[in-house]
Amino acid sequence: MMMSSGERRANRVRQYRLDRRLSQAELAQRINISRAAISAIEQMRLVPSVATALALAGAFGCTVEALFGGDVEGQEPEWAGPLPRSACRFWQALVGHRVVRYSAADASSFGAAHDGVFQGGEFRLRARYEPERTLVVASCDPASSLLAAEYARTTCFRLLVLSRSSGQALSLLGNGAVHCAGLHYATEATPEENDRAVAAELGAGFRLLHVAQWQEGLALASGSGVKSVGRAVNSRSLRWVGREPGSAARRCLDELRGPRPAPRRIVHGHRGTADAVRNGWADVGVCHRLVAEEAGLAFLPVRKERFELCFPATAEGDPRIEALVRLLRSPECRQLFDELPGIDTRHSGSVRNAH
């Protein structure tokens, strides 16, 4: 591949080098060119020859297209959701070969500073943040903000989390709007449910990254006096709050209640359930143990679930995903999350084929 000096092609050499913790001198030595040449390539002052581009790709274990493919600056960004109709903040990420934008309505749980604002009918970039250095995950993980903070602290990337149920997350992944989708259908009794969901929604060619095993159960007001799941299910006086169809919590709820009608009041997310019970307009609902205890609620465990992140097999060499895998495997990260109630990280960071 030879690029003319006039083209503004994507250049991810610095990104790959930093992700592998290499200095410019170390990389230059590996491919037998000068450190100054590496610096010039990273700053896009020098267009690499075909031989140099191939050598760089070989050193990083990726393709030339992954390093230099795609006109990132020239392409028109796409929106993960509807175009905003009013002033809002937005964030950007490179997903596949597309730059995708996320509005504040999509990004309720983003902790990172926004990349730009939509105001007065114009999109204005606040600061130039490289879209290829942003990893976007759709997930209902209540500890996602902690994971995002650790990811930013220990890598040269940032992690943005869209708060979505398992079904919604898989749909976004299938539409190419996110890099990874979090799901937790699999239990000790039904260990293949995550695989079945991926096959049904997306088909073949996907990987599953194990994040943690967690406890799903019933959240109740601390003074409810209910001491067992059976009593809660059979009570005629308790007011239940439901979850949206397609969520793992809704599956758990339907299995518990059997043929009983679904609750009329529906919330989104584990914290939505906890808020409903804590604020007194419901007595019981299904959610994550961490969320229930942080809200000061009583918790009755129902089952353990395997929370995994699904991503395309073609993205396995993406340095953003590789950085996340390394983080989840690190003793420091495991210790941090093991201190949270209801979370077990013994298999965190393992990757397998979805089948």
The model's pLDDT over 96-141, given as tens digits with 9 standing for 90+, comes to 878 899 987 776 557 778 888 888 778 888 766 778 889 999 999 9
Mean pLDDT of 295-323: 94
Could you tell me where the DSSP H helices lie in the chain? Answer: 13-19, 24-31, 35-42, 50-60, 64-68, 144-154, 166-174, 193-201, 229-234, 248-257, 270-278, 289-294, 319-329, 331-338
Mean pLDDT of 343-353: 96
- Asked if residue 96 belongs to a domain, the reply is no
pTM, rounded to two decimals: 0.80
- Asked if residue 20 belongs to a domain, the reply is yes
- Asked if residue 272 belongs to a domain, the reply is no
- Asked if residue 17 belongs to a domain, the reply is yes
The model's pLDDT over 179-217, given as tens digits with 9 standing for 90+, comes to 999 999 999 999 999 999 999 999 999 999 999 999 999
3-state SS of the chain: helix, strand, coil percent to 5?
A: 35, 25, 40
Q: Does residue 72 have a pLDDT over 60?
A: no
Return the structure tokens found at 2: 């030879």
- Asked if residue 158 belongs to a domain, the reply is no
- Asked if residue 231 belongs to a domain, the reply is no
- Asked if residue 25 belongs to a domain, the reply is yes
**What is the reported pLDDT for 2?**
35
Mean pLDDT of 46-50: 82
Please report, for residues 139, 199, 201, 204, 317, the alpha-carbon distance to residue 355 in angstroms, rounded to integers and kept in the order given.
21, 7, 12, 7, 20
The model's pLDDT over 139-173, given as tens digits with 9 standing for 90+, comes to 999 999 999 999 999 998 999 999 999 999 999 99
Alpha carbon distance 238, 218 (integer Å): 12
- Asked if residue 182 belongs to a domain, the reply is no
Alpha carbon distance 117, 76 (integer Å): 16
Total structural domains in the chain? 1
Q: What is the CATH number of the domain that holds 45?
A: 1.10.260.40
Structural domain for 49, as ranges: 13-68
Percentage of the chain modeled with pLDDT above 90: 61
The model's pLDDT over 207-250, given as tens digits with 9 standing for 90+, comes to 999 999 999 999 999 888 999 999 999 999 999 999 999 999 99
The model's pLDDT over 292-307, given as tens digits with 9 standing for 90+, comes to 999 999 999 999 999 9
84 vs 338 pLDDT, higher one: 338
Q: Residue 274 corresponds to which amino acid?
A: A
